[in-house]
């Protein structure tokens, strides 16, 4: 057991002010112990106090926040790589790739499984589909337009699923 726990006032074992057979004054003064144990105790106590400093929590929260922003920026970059914009001639409505007219500030999913937004000067669309890329060569990916998803099946045994290691947007 570390000296700082053994010598703690929280472990009072006697009614007459003694812990572990030594008087309280002797324990608190460091008498009766070797210099190394005293240094170990004060070092451990300083270590404990350092972890409870209010600024430490703030620094930890800031570091966690910055790490989260880095992850978010990475994902946003990956997502933006699958988005595009179409400049509009009219600022009243949007005509999509299928010729369907949409009102300003509306959102829809087009026939290519892209989520699109109608804005004043453009239509912006982003891919919604995760595409399998990490699978065995004996397998093939099959796109299901009805629900905007892929499955991966064996080429020589349709219907038998293959495992996929990697999916990309």
- Within 10 angstroms of residue 158's Cβ, the number of other Cβ atoms is 9
**Which of 5-14, 45-54, 60-69 is least confident?**
5-14
Give tens-digit pLDDT for 120-149. 889 999 998 999 999 999 999 999 989 999
Asked if residue 138 and residue 123 are part of one domain, the reply reads no
Asked if residue 143 and residue 120 are part of one domain, the reply reads no
With cut-offs at 50, 70 and 90, classify the pLDDT of residue 95: confident
Residues near 149 by Cβ (< 8 Å), separated by ≥ 6?
Answer: 129, 130, 143
Asked if residue 141 and residue 117 are part of one domain, the reply reads no
Determine the pLDDT at residue 122: 93
Determine the pLDDT at residue 128: 85
**CATH number, domain with residue 109:** 2.10.70.10
Report how many domains make up the chain. 3
Determine the pLDDT at residue 65: 62
**Which of 57-61, 107-111, 115-119, 164-168 is least confident?**
57-61
- Within 10 angstroms of residue 89's Cβ, the number of other Cβ atoms is 7
Asked if residue 118 and residue 71 are part of one domain, the reply reads yes
Asked if residue 61 and residue 47 are part of one domain, the reply reads no
Give tens-digit pLDDT for 4-36. 444 444 444 444 444 444 444 444 444 444 444
Q: Who wins on pLDDT, 114 or 73?
A: 114
Asked if residue 69 and residue 16 are part of one domain, the reply reads no
DSSP symbol at 108? E
Closest CA to 139 of 113, 158, 126, 114: 158
Asked if residue 118 and residue 87 are part of one domain, the reply reads yes
Q: What are the E-state strand segments in the chain?
A: 18-19, 22-23, 83-87, 93-95, 101-103, 107-109, 114-118, 122-127, 131-132, 139-144, 149-154, 167-168
**CATH number, domain with residue 152:** 2.20.25.590
Residues of the chain with pLDDT > 70, as a percent, come to 53
Report the pLDDT averaged over residues 78-106: 82
Determine the pLDDT at residue 66: 62
Asked if residue 73 and residue 109 are part of one domain, the reply reads yes
- Domain that includes residue 30, residue range: 3-51
Model pTM score: 0.45
């Amino acid at each position: 057991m570390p000296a700082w726990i053994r010598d703690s006032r929280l472990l009072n074992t006697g009614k007459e002010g003694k812990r572990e057979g030594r008087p309280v004054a002797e324990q608190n003064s460091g008498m009766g112990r070797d210099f190394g144990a005293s240094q170990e105790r004060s070092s451990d106590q300083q270590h404990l106090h350092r972890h409870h400093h209010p600024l430490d929590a703030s620094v930890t929260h800031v570091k966690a926040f910055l790490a989260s922003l880095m992850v978010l920026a990475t994902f946003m970059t990956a997502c933006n790589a699958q988005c595009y914009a179409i400049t509009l001639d009219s600022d009243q409505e949007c005509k999509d790739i299928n010729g369907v007219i949409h009102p300003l500030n509306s959102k829809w999913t087009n026939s290519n499984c892209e989520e699109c937004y109608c804005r004043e000067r453009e239509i912006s669309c982003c891919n919604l589909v995760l595409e399998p890329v990490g699978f065995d060569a004996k397998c093939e990916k099959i796109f299901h337009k009805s629900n905007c998803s892929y499955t991966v099946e064996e080429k020589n045994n349709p219907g038998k699923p293959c495992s996929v290691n990697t999916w990309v947007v």
